[in-house]
Amino acid sequence: MTKLTRTQDKNIQVGIDVGSSKFCCAIAEINPSNQNVKLLGIGSSSSTGIKKGSIIHRDKIIEEMEKAVTDAEIMADIKVNRAWLTISGEHVRGINTQGAIAIQKSGQSPSATDQEIQIEDVYKVLELAKAISFPVDRNILHTLPQEYIIDTMTGIKDPVGMSGRRLEGRVHLVTVATSSASNFINCAEELGISVDGLVFQGLASSIATIDKDEKELGVAVVDIGAGTTDIVVYFEGGVRHTGVIPIGADSITNDIAVMLQVGKNEAEEIKLKYASAKASMASPELEFELPVKNGGISRKISEHELSRYVEARMTEILQLISREISRADIHQKLTYGLVFTGGGAQLSNLAGLAEETLNIRARIGAPKRISGVVDVASTPHYAAAIGLIQWPVNIQDVQQVLSPFGGVTAKNVANQIYRWFKQFF
Ligand SMILES: Nc1ncnc2c1ncn2[C@@H]1O[C@H](COP(=O)(O)OP(=O)(O)OP(=O)(O)O)[C@@H](O)[C@H]1O
Ligand SMILES: [Mg+2]
C-alpha cells in the first residue's frame, strides 16, 4: 500500500461526485489569499450500486467510492478525512418561497421612521422563507437567496445598511429525501471520511461551468449523466429553478442495444465511437461492423443509420428538458440559453441539435477556473467533481453557511451570512 505523506489540512478541499455510472474524487488546495483552486489529484471508479441517484447496493458503493478516493489520494499524496458529496435523483425538488418582516427598532412602531436593516433582519427573513411544511422524510438541502425587496424596491442583492419599513426575501429551496441523503453520508463515513456537506449534483456542475454574466442574463445548466439529467436555471444572478429528469445518456445506449441487437457494453462502445446527435452530420457512407454473435453472419451499419436512433432519443430528452425549464416561470428568454455538461454532453453535435430543435442558444460546458493538473479533468463529465471543490469558495447557500454551526448565537450566524453576502454581490 502506498504511504501518503500529508494529511488533509483546512486548505485542502475534497469533492466526491456520486454518479450512477462513476465515482469521481477530486482533491484541491485553496489558496486562502486569492481563493485560487488548485487541483492536486483526481480519481475515478465505475459505479454499479446506484440507479438514477438511488442506492441499490450499499457494499458496492463503499468499495467503489474507496477506489476513487484512493486513486485521488495517491495522485495528490494526501490522506482524505473529510469531503463534500454530490446528490441527485428524482427525490431532489426545487421550490421558490419568500419571507417578510417589518423593520422596527424595539419600542417604536413600524410606521415611526424608516429603519436601517441589520444583518439579523436578513437572517429572520431567510428563516421565515424556510418555514414551510414538508412531508416527513424531506429536508432542505440548499437555501439560495434570489433577491430582497425593501418596501417597493425590488432586485436588491444586499439589503444590509439600507433603510425601509418592510424587508422581503425571495429564495429558492432545494429539498431532498432525508433517508437518501443519510445513506450516502453513511457510506462515506464507513470509509473514515466525514462529510462536510451534500451538494445537488446539477448545482455543483453549474459552479464549475458558467460565469457571472450567464447567471445574470439567464442560463439553464443541464447535466446529462448516465441515469439522470439535472437542471439548474439561473436568472438575475440567482437560482430560479432546479429539477431532475429521471432519464440520462444511458437511455441512448439501451436504444442502440435493442435496435442493433447487441450487448449493453458493445452498444456503449458503439455510441462513444460512432454516434452523433444529428444524423445529418453523420455519413451514410461510413459503415462499421457490428459484433458477430456466435455462429451468426457479419453485419454492417452506417454511422448515419445509427445516429438516426440517437437523434430520435436525444430529441425526446431535449423536449423533456425544455418542459422542465418552462417550469422556472421566467417570462423572458434565457439570453445564454443552455449549457450542457456531464458525460452525456460529450455526444457529438449535441449543442447543434439543441439549437435546432429548441431554437435557443446552446454550448457545451467543461470545468473552468481551476489550476493544477487540469489536463486530466477538463472534460464535461468531471464538472460536478470540480464544482464540488470550488463550492466552499463559491458557496451560495445560506443553509450550508448556517447548518455546520449548530449552537452558535444568532449574531454569529448573521455575521457568517454577511461574509457570504460580501463575497458574492
Ligand atoms: N463521448 C461521449 N459520447 C456520448 N456519450 C458519452 C460520451 N462520454 C460519456 N458519455 C455518456 O455519459 C454518461 C455518463 O455521464 P456521467 O459520468 O456524467 O454520469 P454520472 O454522473 O455517473 O451519472 P448521473 O449524473 O446520472 O448520476 C454515460 O451514459 C456515457 O455513455
Ligand atoms: Mg453526474
Cβ–Cβ < 8 Å for 289, 326: no
What digits encode the pLDDT tens for the residues 356-396? 999 999 999 999 989 998 888 999 999 999 999 999 887 76
The CA distances from residue 277 to 1, 231, 255, 290, 302, in Å, are: 44, 20, 13, 20, 14
> What's the gap in Å between 410 CA and the centre of ligand 2?
36
Residue 186 C-beta-side C-alpha neighbours within 13 Å: 9
**Is pLDDT of 419 > 70?**
no
List strand residue ranges (DSSP E) for 20-119, in order: 22-30, 37-46, 50-51, 54-55, 78-79, 82-87, 93-102, 115-116
Please give the full DSSP string across 347-372, using - where no structure is assigned. SBTHHHHHHHHH-S-EEE----S-EE
> What's the gap in Å between 384 CA and the centre of ligand 2?
7
Tell me, what's the pLDDT at 134?
A: 83
Residues with CB under 6 A from ligand 1: 19-22, 47, 53, 88, 201, 225-228, 248-250, 253, 268, 271-272, 342-344, 346-347, 381
d(CA 274, CA 258): 17
Name the 3-class secondary structure at 56: coil
Tell me, what's the pLDDT at 210?
A: 96
Extents of the domains making up the chain: 93-176+401-424, 250-307
What digits encode the pLDDT tens for the residues 179-227? 999 999 999 999 999 999 999 999 999 999 999 999 999 999 999 999 9
The ligand minimizing its distance to the Cα of 228 is 1
Cell 501518503 belongs to 4
Tell me, what's the pLDDT at 390?
A: 94
CA angle 30, 33, 37 (to 5 degrees): 25
How far is CA 233 from its chain centroid?
11
Tell me, what's the pLDDT at 40?
A: 97
Q: Which atom number of ligand 1 is nearest to the Cα of residue 227?
A: 26
Residue whose C-alpha is closest to residue 368's, from 360, 356, 379: 379
Tell me, what's the pLDDT at 354?
A: 98
Residue 34 pLDDT level (bands cut at 50, 70, 90)? confident
d(CA 167, CA 121): 8
Tell me, what's the pLDDT at 396?
A: 64
**Is pLDDT of 77 > 90?**
yes
CATH topology (fold) of 93-176+401-424: Dna Ligase; domain 1 (3.30.1490)
Residue 291 pLDDT level (bands cut at 50, 70, 90)? confident
Q: Which atom number of ligand 1 is nearest to the Cα of residue 250?
A: 29
**Is pLDDT of 110 > 70?**
no
298 or 414, higher pLDDT: 298
Mean pLDDT of the chain: 89
Pairing of strands 371-372, 37-46: parallel
- Helix 303-326 and helix 350-358: axis angle, to 10°? 50
Residue 108 pLDDT level (bands cut at 50, 70, 90)? low
Q: Which atom number of ligand 1 is nearest to the Cα of residue 47?
A: 22
| For ligand 1, mutation pick of 272, 310, 386 (most atoms within 8 Å of CB) | 272
Tell me, what's the pLDDT at 418?
A: 46
Query: Would you state the CATH architecture of domain 250-307?
Result: Alpha-Beta Complex (3.90)
Q: What value does the mean pLDDT take over residues 120-130?
A: 92
> What's the gap in Å between 59 CA and the centre of ligand 1?
23
Tell me, what's the pLDDT at 136?
A: 83
Across-strand partners of 26?
15, 42
What phi and psi values does residue 358 have, to the nearest 5 degrees?
-100, -5
> What's the gap in Å between 213 CA and the centre of ligand 2?
24
Long-range contacts of range 188-193, CB-CB < 8 Å, 24 or more positions apart? 188/16, 188/65, 188/83, 188/85, 190/62, 191/62, 191/65, 191/66, 191/69, 192/81, 193/14, 193/16, 193/69, 193/80, 193/81, 193/82, 193/83
402 or 61, higher pLDDT: 61
Q: Which atom number of ligand 1 is nearest to the Cα of residue 249?
A: 29
> What's the gap in Å between 132 CA and the centre of ligand 1?
36
Q: What value does the mean pLDDT take over residues 103-131?
A: 78
Tell me, what's the pLDDT at 293?
A: 75
Tell me, what's the pLDDT at 397?
A: 63
Residue 409 pLDDT level (bands cut at 50, 70, 90)? very low
d(CA 79, CA 63): 17
Cell 437560482 belongs to 239
Tell me, what's the pLDDT at 380?
A: 97
Percent of the chain with pLDDT over 70: 90
Residue whose C-alpha is closest to residue 88's, from 222, 239, 186: 222
Side chain identity, residue 57: H
What digits encode the pLDDT tens for the residues 228-270? 999 999 999 999 999 999 999 999 999 999 999 999 999 999 9
